[in-house]
C-alpha cells in the first residue's frame, strides 16, 4: 500500500528475495493515487509488478469484494494473497469494514464508537477519531524489526502478543455490552523486513461482521490491525433494525 519511500523499499525487498529464491509470487500490485510516485522513478518497470493508480479506500472496496472463494469450484483452493501495509497509513481495514456494514444494512446506524477504556499496554493512546493505538514497546523499535521471539531491544524473550491483547479487550467489554470479535488483520514478517497480512483475514473479518450484525440487534465489533507488538484497535457499532 503506497508507492512512496516505504512502498518502494518493500517492493525492492520482495523482488530481491524472489531473485534469491527465498520467496515466490505471481504478481505484485503497488497502490498509489499518484501515477508518478517514487516507485515509478526508482525501480525499473517489470511485467510482474503493476501500479494501481487509485485511492486506497477505493482499491479495497473493489479488490476485497472479489476476495472470497464462493465462486471457486469445489476443491479448488484460492490463491493466497497478502497485503503489505504502510506503517503510517490510517486504520484502512476498519474503514473498509465500516463501509461494508453501511452497504449491508442501509437502514441501520453504523458508526465508529470511541474505544475509551484503556487497553493497558505501555503505549496506549486514543486518537480523535476513536481509534486506539497501542504498543507493548515503551522504547524506540529498530526500523523494519521482524518482531522475533527475543526482542532485539531488551534482549529478552518477547512475552506479549497483540492478538491475545485484543481478545482480552473483547472479554472485558463484553461484560457490559454486546461486543463481537475481534476481527483481526495480523501482520507477520514475510521476508527481508517486509510485514504483511493475509487477504483471508479480510474474508474472515467480513464473516464476523455478518454474523455480529445478522441478528438485527445493536452490537459492536472490535476491529484490529496488529502485529505482535503494535496495533490499531477500533470499535465498529451497528445499530438495531
**Is there a domain that residue 83 lies in?**
no
What's the pLDDT tens digit per position in 135-158? 999 999 888 888 999 999 999 999
Angle at 52 between CA 46 and CA 53, to 5 degrees: 125
User: Which DSSP symbol is given to 39?
Assistant: H
What's the pLDDT tens digit per position in 14-36? 999 999 999 999 999 999 999 99
pLDDT score, position 68: 57
Q: Which domain holds residue 216?
A: 88-238
**Is there a domain that residue 53 lies in?**
no
What's the pLDDT tens digit per position in 170-222? 999 988 888 888 999 999 999 988 999 999 999 999 999 999 888 889 999 99
**Is there a domain that residue 41 lies in?**
no
Measure the CA–CA gap between 92 and 122, rounded to whole angstroms. 24
What is the pairing mode between strands 230-238 and 132-135? antiparallel
β-pair partners for 189:
195
**Is there a domain that residue 69 lies in?**
no
- Those residues whose C-beta lies under 8 Å from the C-beta of residue 71, and which sit 6 or more positions away, are none
**Is there a domain that residue 57 lies in?**
no
User: Which DSSP symbol is given to 74?
Assistant: T
pLDDT score, position 31: 96
Measure the CA–CA gap between 23 and 11, rounded to whole angstroms. 13
User: Which DSSP symbol is given to 46?
Assistant: B
pLDDT score, position 72: 41
**Is there a domain that residue 137 lies in?**
yes
How many domains in the chain?
1
**Is there a domain that residue 105 lies in?**
yes
Cell numbers given for 164? 491475545
3-state helix, strand and coil shares in percent for the chain, rounded to the nearest 5? 30, 25, 45
**Mean pLDDT across 216-239:** 94
Cell numbers given for 67? 476476495
Q: 104: exposed, middle or buried (C-beta count within 10 Å: 0-12, 13-18, 19+)?
A: middle
**Between the CA of residue 65 and those of 8, 61, 68, 208, what are the distances in Å?**
26, 6, 7, 15
**Is there a domain that residue 222 lies in?**
yes
What's the pLDDT tens digit per position in 104-126? 999 999 999 989 989 999 999 99
Measure the CA–CA gap between 98 and 46, rounded to whole angstroms. 35
Cell numbers given for 124? 496506549
Amino acid at each position: 500500500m503506497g508507492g512512496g519511500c516505504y512502498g518502494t523499499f518493500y517492493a525492492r525487498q520482495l523482488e530481491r528475495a524472489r531473485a534469491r529464491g527465498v520467496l515466490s509470487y505471481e504478481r505484485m500490485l503497488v497502490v498509489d493515487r499518484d501515477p508518478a510516485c517514487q516507485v515509478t522513478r526508482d525501480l525499473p518497470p517489470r511485467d510482474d509488478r503493476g501500479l494501481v493508480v487509485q485511492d486506497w479506500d477505493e482499491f479495497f472496496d473493489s479488490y476485497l469484494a472479489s476476495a472470497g472463494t464462493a465462486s471457486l469450484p469445489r476443491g479448488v483452493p484460492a490463491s493466497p494473497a497478502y497485503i503489505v501495509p504502510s506503517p503510517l497509513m490510517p486504520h484502512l481495514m476498519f474503514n473498509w469494514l465500516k463501509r461494508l456494514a453501511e452497504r449491508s444494512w442501509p437502514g441501520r446506524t453504523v458508526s465508529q464508537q470511541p474505544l475509551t477504556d484503556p487497553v493497558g499496554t505501555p503505549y496506549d493512546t486514543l486518537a480523535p477519531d476513536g481509534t486506539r493505538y497501542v504498543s507493548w514497546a515503551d522504547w524506540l523499535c529498530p526500523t523494519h524489526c521482524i518482531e522475533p521471539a527475543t526482542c532485539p531491544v531488551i534482549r529478552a524473550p518477547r512475552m506479549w502478543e497483540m492478538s491475545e491483547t485484543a481478545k482480552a479487550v473483547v472479554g472485558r467489554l463484553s461484560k457490559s455490552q454486546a461486543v463481537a470479535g475481534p476481527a483481526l488483520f495480523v501482520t507477520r514478517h514475510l521476508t527481508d523486513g517486509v510485514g504483511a497480512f493475509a487477504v483471508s483475514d479480510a474474508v474472515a473479518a467480513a464473516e464476523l461482521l455478518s454474523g455480529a450484525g445478522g441478528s438485527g440487534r445493536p452490537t459492536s465489533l472490535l476491529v484490529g490491525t496488529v502485529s505482535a507488538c503494535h496495533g490499531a484497535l477500533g470499535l465498529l457499532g451497528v445499530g438495531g433494525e
